[in-house]
Amino acid sequence: MDDFKAIQVRREDDNDVEVVHNPTSYPVIGRGHHGAVFKISSDKCVKIYVKPKHILKESEALKIAQDSPVFPKLYEVGDNYIIMEYIEGPTLEQYLASEGEITENITQKILFLIQEMKRLNFFRLDASLYHIFVTNQGELRVIDLVSHMKKRYDRPEKLMNGLKKLGLLPAFLEQVNKFDPQSYEAWKDFKEWKKSE
C-alpha cells in the first residue's frame, strides 16, 4: 500500500494542484490548492501535498480534532502525505442543491460543527459547503483543515456565501435564530459583508 508515496503533484500560479505522476491504480477523489486526495481503501484516503508546511498545518488540526465526531480520523503523517479516513457521501453543497431546502436538522448539525471548531480552539470557525460532507448516516464531516489553526474567521463567511448562492441563507438564518439566538445576532448582518469567496 506504500506505493502511493511515488505519486507526485505540483501547483502552478493560483490553480488547483495537478497530478504529475501516479504509478498507482488509486483514483483521484479531490484536488485543491494544497494537495490531491486519492482513495486507497474503502475507508482510507491519502492526501499528497505540494509543500511540507501544509502537511504540518493540516496534521496539527487533525490531531487536535481526533476526539470530535465532525472531523476525519487521522491514521498516518509522512514527508509529503497524510492518510486519513475516507468520508463517503455528497458534499453539503451537492446535498442542499439536490434537496432544494435546508432542514432544521441540517442547521442544527451546522451549528454543532461550528461549536466543535470553537471547542477545539480553531482560529477558523468556517468551512466551504464543498468541504463539508453528508455521510450515509446523515452526519456532517469537515475536510481540508490546512488553515483552521492559522487564518482567523470568527464568523462562517464561506459557509454562508455558499448558502446564499443556493438561495438558502434566509431560511438558515431564521432557523439559527430559533436554535442559537446569540449566533444569529452575530451573523444576521451577513448580507452587508463583503463577499469572501
pLDDT, one tens digit per residue, over 59-112 is 999 999 999 999 999 999 999 999 999 999 999 999 999 999 999 999 999 999
Buried b / exposed e over 107-124, threshold 16 CB at 10 Å, is: bebbbbbbebbeebebeb
- pTM greater than 0.95 (yes/no): no
The C-alpha cell that represents 180 in the structure block: 442559537
Alpha carbons 45 and 138: distance in angstroms, whole number: 20
Please give the pLDDT value at position 1: 62
Q: Tens digit of pLDDT for each residue in 15-38?
A: 889 999 999 999 999 999 999 999
Spatial neighbors of 88 by CB under 8 A, at least 6 apart, are 135, 136
**pLDDT above 80 for 194:** no
